[in-house]
Amino acid sequence: MANAAANEPDTAGARLAGARLRAGLTLEQVAEKLRLDRSTVVALEADDHRAIGAAVFVRGFLRRYAALVGEPAAEIEALYARRPDAELRPDLSKTGMHRIEAAAHGSRLGLVPAVIAAVVLSIVGAVWWAMRTKPQPYTVVSEEHTQTLPAAPAAAVPAPAAGAAASPAATAVGADAQSALLPRRHLQLQFNGECWVELYDARGYRLFFGFGHAGTTQDLAGIPPFRFVLGNAAAVAVSFEGAPVGMPETPPGARVRFLVNGNGVVAGVH
Protein backbone atom coordinates (compact mmCIF):
# COMPACT_ATOMS: atom_id res chain seq x y z
CA MET A 1 0.00 0.00 0.00
CA ALA A 2 2.83 2.40 0.80
CA ASN A 3 4.39 1.79 -2.63
CA ALA A 4 1.04 2.36 -4.33
CA ALA A 5 0.60 5.68 -2.53
CA ALA A 6 4.14 6.71 -3.45
CA ASN A 7 3.49 5.92 -7.12
CA GLU A 8 0.21 7.84 -7.23
CA PRO A 9 0.61 10.94 -9.46
CA ASP A 10 0.92 14.04 -7.30
CA THR A 11 -1.22 16.54 -9.19
CA ALA A 12 -3.61 19.21 -8.04
CA GLY A 13 -6.58 17.23 -9.35
CA ALA A 14 -5.50 13.96 -7.69
CA ARG A 15 -4.96 15.71 -4.35
CA LEU A 16 -8.40 17.35 -4.49
CA ALA A 17 -10.15 14.13 -5.57
CA GLY A 18 -8.53 12.21 -2.69
CA ALA A 19 -9.47 14.90 -0.18
CA ARG A 20 -13.05 14.92 -1.45
CA LEU A 21 -13.36 11.14 -0.99
CA ARG A 22 -11.89 11.35 2.52
CA ALA A 23 -14.43 14.06 3.34
CA GLY A 24 -17.25 11.84 2.09
CA LEU A 25 -18.42 14.34 -0.54
CA THR A 26 -19.86 13.52 -3.96
CA LEU A 27 -19.07 15.43 -7.15
CA GLU A 28 -22.59 16.86 -7.06
CA GLN A 29 -22.17 18.13 -3.50
CA VAL A 30 -18.86 19.83 -4.36
CA ALA A 31 -20.40 21.41 -7.47
CA GLU A 32 -23.32 22.75 -5.42
CA LYS A 33 -21.11 24.17 -2.65
CA LEU A 34 -18.72 25.85 -5.14
CA ARG A 35 -21.58 26.90 -7.46
CA LEU A 36 -19.97 25.21 -10.45
CA ASP A 37 -21.08 22.72 -13.07
CA ARG A 38 -20.42 19.08 -12.21
CA SER A 39 -18.39 18.90 -15.44
CA THR A 40 -16.10 21.68 -14.17
CA VAL A 41 -15.42 19.76 -10.94
CA VAL A 42 -14.68 16.63 -12.98
CA ALA A 43 -12.26 18.64 -15.18
CA LEU A 44 -10.46 20.02 -12.10
CA GLU A 45 -9.95 16.53 -10.64
CA ALA A 46 -8.79 15.22 -14.02
CA ASP A 47 -6.35 18.15 -14.47
CA ASP A 48 -8.21 18.91 -17.73
CA HIS A 49 -7.68 22.66 -17.43
CA ARG A 50 -8.15 23.37 -21.13
CA ALA A 51 -11.82 22.48 -20.70
CA ILE A 52 -12.17 25.34 -18.19
CA GLY A 53 -10.36 28.12 -20.04
CA ALA A 54 -8.36 31.05 -18.67
CA ALA A 55 -5.73 30.33 -16.02
CA VAL A 56 -7.18 32.98 -13.69
CA PHE A 57 -10.40 30.96 -13.41
CA VAL A 58 -8.56 27.65 -12.99
CA ARG A 59 -6.46 29.08 -10.15
CA GLY A 60 -9.52 30.57 -8.48
CA PHE A 61 -11.50 27.33 -8.70
CA LEU A 62 -8.56 25.30 -7.36
CA ARG A 63 -8.14 27.61 -4.35
CA ARG A 64 -11.86 27.46 -3.54
CA TYR A 65 -11.95 23.66 -3.94
CA ALA A 66 -8.87 23.30 -1.71
CA ALA A 67 -10.48 25.40 1.02
CA LEU A 68 -13.65 23.29 0.84
CA VAL A 69 -11.88 19.95 1.34
CA GLY A 70 -9.17 21.16 3.73
CA GLU A 71 -6.14 21.05 1.42
CA PRO A 72 -3.45 23.80 1.59
CA ALA A 73 -4.35 26.18 -1.25
CA ALA A 74 -0.72 27.20 -1.79
CA GLU A 75 0.36 23.59 -2.34
CA ILE A 76 -2.50 22.91 -4.76
CA GLU A 77 -1.68 26.03 -6.75
CA ALA A 78 2.02 25.09 -6.80
CA LEU A 79 1.14 21.69 -8.26
CA TYR A 80 -0.95 23.37 -10.94
CA ALA A 81 1.89 25.80 -11.74
CA ARG A 82 4.13 22.86 -12.70
CA ARG A 83 1.88 22.00 -15.62
CA PRO A 84 2.62 23.45 -19.10
CA ASP A 85 -0.97 24.63 -19.55
CA ALA A 86 -0.60 26.95 -16.54
CA GLU A 87 1.47 29.30 -18.73
CA LEU A 88 -0.73 29.20 -21.85
CA ARG A 89 -2.33 32.41 -23.08
CA PRO A 90 -6.01 32.58 -22.08
CA ASP A 91 -8.57 31.08 -24.49
CA LEU A 92 -11.28 33.76 -24.30
CA SER A 93 -13.75 31.57 -26.20
CA LYS A 94 -14.01 29.32 -23.12
CA THR A 95 -14.23 32.06 -20.51
CA GLY A 96 -17.50 31.80 -18.58
CA MET A 97 -18.60 28.38 -19.91
CA HIS A 98 -19.22 27.18 -16.36
CA ARG A 99 -22.78 27.67 -15.06
CA ILE A 100 -23.56 30.25 -12.38
CA GLU A 101 -26.61 29.40 -10.28
CA ALA A 102 -29.53 31.74 -10.98
CA ALA A 103 -30.28 32.18 -7.27
CA ALA A 104 -26.82 33.61 -6.67
CA HIS A 105 -25.96 35.58 -9.80
CA GLY A 106 -29.15 35.89 -11.84
CA SER A 107 -27.89 34.72 -15.26
CA ARG A 108 -25.15 32.85 -17.05
CA LEU A 109 -21.90 34.64 -17.64
CA GLY A 110 -21.98 33.39 -21.23
CA LEU A 111 -25.08 35.55 -21.91
CA VAL A 112 -23.51 38.78 -20.66
CA PRO A 113 -21.71 39.81 -23.90
CA ALA A 114 -24.86 39.25 -25.97
CA VAL A 115 -27.06 41.23 -23.56
CA ILE A 116 -24.51 44.06 -23.40
CA ALA A 117 -24.27 44.16 -27.20
CA ALA A 118 -28.07 44.42 -27.50
CA VAL A 119 -28.21 47.23 -24.92
CA VAL A 120 -25.35 49.15 -26.60
CA LEU A 121 -27.01 48.86 -30.03
CA SER A 122 -30.31 50.11 -28.59
CA ILE A 123 -28.62 53.11 -26.96
CA VAL A 124 -26.65 54.01 -30.11
CA GLY A 125 -29.81 53.79 -32.23
CA ALA A 126 -31.78 56.00 -29.84
CA VAL A 127 -29.01 58.63 -29.68
CA TRP A 128 -28.62 58.64 -33.48
CA TRP A 129 -32.36 59.20 -33.97
CA ALA A 130 -32.41 61.97 -31.36
CA MET A 131 -29.53 63.76 -33.10
CA ARG A 132 -31.48 63.74 -36.37
CA THR A 133 -34.39 65.55 -34.74
CA LYS A 134 -34.52 68.23 -32.06
CA PRO A 135 -31.74 68.10 -29.42
CA GLN A 136 -33.13 67.12 -26.03
CA PRO A 137 -31.76 67.63 -22.53
CA TYR A 138 -29.52 64.73 -21.52
CA THR A 139 -30.23 63.10 -18.14
CA VAL A 140 -27.50 61.27 -16.24
CA VAL A 141 -28.95 58.82 -13.72
CA SER A 142 -26.92 57.34 -10.88
CA GLU A 143 -27.66 55.61 -7.60
CA GLU A 144 -27.14 58.89 -5.72
CA HIS A 145 -28.70 61.62 -7.82
CA THR A 146 -30.20 62.62 -11.17
CA GLN A 147 -28.68 65.54 -13.08
CA THR A 148 -30.34 67.12 -16.13
CA LEU A 149 -28.03 69.03 -18.47
CA PRO A 150 -29.13 71.54 -21.15
CA ALA A 151 -29.22 70.63 -24.82
CA ALA A 152 -26.59 71.98 -27.16
CA PRO A 153 -27.33 75.57 -28.34
CA ALA A 154 -29.01 75.73 -31.72
CA ALA A 155 -26.19 77.93 -33.03
CA ALA A 156 -23.67 75.16 -32.42
CA VAL A 157 -24.97 73.22 -35.45
CA PRO A 158 -25.52 75.10 -38.73
CA ALA A 159 -29.08 74.69 -40.02
CA PRO A 160 -29.37 72.99 -43.44
CA ALA A 161 -30.72 74.89 -46.41
CA ALA A 162 -34.47 74.77 -47.00
CA GLY A 163 -35.52 71.42 -48.47
CA ALA A 164 -32.06 69.87 -47.91
CA ALA A 165 -31.41 66.91 -45.62
CA ALA A 166 -28.95 67.25 -42.74
CA SER A 167 -25.47 66.16 -43.85
CA PRO A 168 -23.54 63.39 -42.02
CA ALA A 169 -20.94 66.01 -41.04
CA ALA A 170 -23.60 68.22 -39.43
CA THR A 171 -25.01 65.24 -37.53
CA ALA A 172 -21.52 64.35 -36.26
CA VAL A 173 -20.96 67.94 -35.10
CA GLY A 174 -24.27 67.83 -33.21
CA ALA A 175 -23.31 64.58 -31.48
CA ASP A 176 -19.90 65.97 -30.51
CA ALA A 177 -21.46 69.15 -29.12
CA GLN A 178 -23.93 67.11 -27.07
CA SER A 179 -21.21 64.84 -25.66
CA ALA A 180 -18.99 67.83 -24.82
CA LEU A 181 -21.58 69.01 -22.27
CA LEU A 182 -21.45 65.80 -20.23
CA PRO A 183 -19.16 65.61 -17.17
CA ARG A 184 -16.32 63.14 -17.83
CA ARG A 185 -14.73 61.37 -14.88
CA HIS A 186 -11.45 59.48 -14.70
CA LEU A 187 -10.83 55.92 -13.50
CA GLN A 188 -7.58 54.11 -12.89
CA LEU A 189 -7.30 50.30 -12.73
CA GLN A 190 -4.17 48.84 -11.07
CA PHE A 191 -3.71 45.07 -11.44
CA ASN A 192 -1.86 42.87 -8.93
CA GLY A 193 -2.87 39.67 -10.73
CA GLU A 194 -4.70 38.41 -13.80
CA CYS A 195 -8.24 39.78 -13.97
CA TRP A 196 -10.96 39.81 -16.64
CA VAL A 197 -12.60 43.26 -17.00
CA GLU A 198 -15.67 44.55 -18.81
CA LEU A 199 -16.22 48.28 -18.21
CA TYR A 200 -18.93 50.53 -19.71
CA ASP A 201 -20.02 54.10 -19.00
CA ALA A 202 -23.51 55.65 -18.84
CA ARG A 203 -23.68 56.04 -22.63
CA GLY A 204 -22.97 52.36 -23.16
CA TYR A 205 -19.44 53.11 -24.42
CA ARG A 206 -17.06 50.19 -23.83
CA LEU A 207 -14.05 51.62 -21.99
CA PHE A 208 -12.23 48.31 -21.41
CA PHE A 209 -12.85 44.70 -22.42
CA GLY A 210 -10.23 42.02 -21.83
CA PHE A 211 -7.59 40.79 -19.37
CA GLY A 212 -5.55 43.03 -17.09
CA HIS A 213 -2.19 41.58 -16.08
CA ALA A 214 -0.18 41.91 -12.86
CA GLY A 215 1.90 45.08 -12.69
CA THR A 216 -0.09 46.97 -15.34
CA THR A 217 -2.28 50.07 -15.05
CA GLN A 218 -5.17 51.35 -17.16
CA ASP A 219 -6.18 55.06 -17.15
CA LEU A 220 -9.73 55.55 -18.51
CA ALA A 221 -12.34 58.30 -18.77
CA GLY A 222 -16.09 58.33 -19.40
CA ILE A 223 -19.51 59.41 -18.14
CA PRO A 224 -20.64 57.91 -14.78
CA PRO A 225 -22.19 55.72 -13.58
CA PHE A 226 -19.63 53.11 -14.67
CA ARG A 227 -20.72 49.48 -15.04
CA PHE A 228 -18.14 46.80 -14.11
CA VAL A 229 -17.98 43.04 -14.67
CA LEU A 230 -14.85 41.58 -13.04
CA GLY A 231 -13.47 38.05 -12.97
CA ASN A 232 -11.07 37.70 -10.01
CA ALA A 233 -12.03 41.09 -8.58
CA ALA A 234 -9.48 40.68 -5.78
CA ALA A 235 -6.68 41.23 -8.32
CA VAL A 236 -7.57 44.85 -9.21
CA ALA A 237 -7.69 48.18 -7.33
CA VAL A 238 -9.91 50.94 -8.75
CA SER A 239 -9.49 54.70 -8.25
CA PHE A 240 -12.11 57.36 -9.12
CA GLU A 241 -10.77 60.88 -9.73
CA GLY A 242 -7.62 59.87 -7.82
CA ALA A 243 -9.47 58.50 -4.77
CA PRO A 244 -9.57 54.73 -4.06
CA VAL A 245 -12.93 53.04 -4.61
CA GLY A 246 -14.16 50.75 -1.82
CA MET A 247 -14.30 47.49 -3.76
CA PRO A 248 -16.77 44.74 -2.78
CA GLU A 249 -15.18 41.89 -0.84
CA THR A 250 -15.00 38.74 -2.98
CA PRO A 251 -13.02 35.48 -2.75
CA PRO A 252 -10.10 34.99 -5.17
CA GLY A 253 -11.30 34.02 -8.64
CA ALA A 254 -14.91 35.12 -8.00
CA ARG A 255 -16.90 37.09 -10.58
CA VAL A 256 -18.80 40.23 -9.52
CA ARG A 257 -20.84 42.97 -11.20
CA PHE A 258 -21.41 46.45 -9.76
CA LEU A 259 -21.78 50.18 -10.52
CA VAL A 260 -19.52 53.07 -9.55
CA ASN A 261 -21.70 56.18 -9.43
CA GLY A 262 -20.87 59.86 -9.99
CA ASN A 263 -19.55 60.16 -6.42
CA GLY A 264 -17.15 57.20 -6.78
CA VAL A 265 -19.33 54.96 -4.59
CA VAL A 266 -19.97 51.29 -5.37
CA ALA A 267 -23.62 50.25 -5.73
CA GLY A 268 -25.71 47.42 -7.13
CA VAL A 269 -23.27 44.61 -6.27
CA HIS A 270 -24.28 41.15 -7.50
Adjacent-strand bridge partners of 220: 187
Confidence of residue 25 (pLDDT cuts 50, 70, 90): very high
Tell me the residue type at 246.
Answer: G
More confidently predicted of 192 and 96 = 192
Given a contact cutoff of 8 angstroms between Cβ atoms, the answer to whether 199 and 206 are in contact is yes
**Cα of 141 vs its chain's centroid, Å:** 22
pLDDT in tens, 130-163: 565 544 444 444 444 444 444 445 444 455 555 5
* Rg of the chain on CA atoms, in Å: 24
pLDDT in tens, 91-134: 444 444 444 444 444 444 455 566 677 766 777 676 666 565 54
* CATH class entry, domain 2-99: mainly alpha
Q: What pLDDT, on the 0 to 100 scale, is given for residue 199?
A: 93
Mean pLDDT over the full length of the chain: 76
The pLDDT of 202-207, averaged and rounded, is 92
Q: Give the residue extent of every domain in the chain.
A: 2-99, 129-270
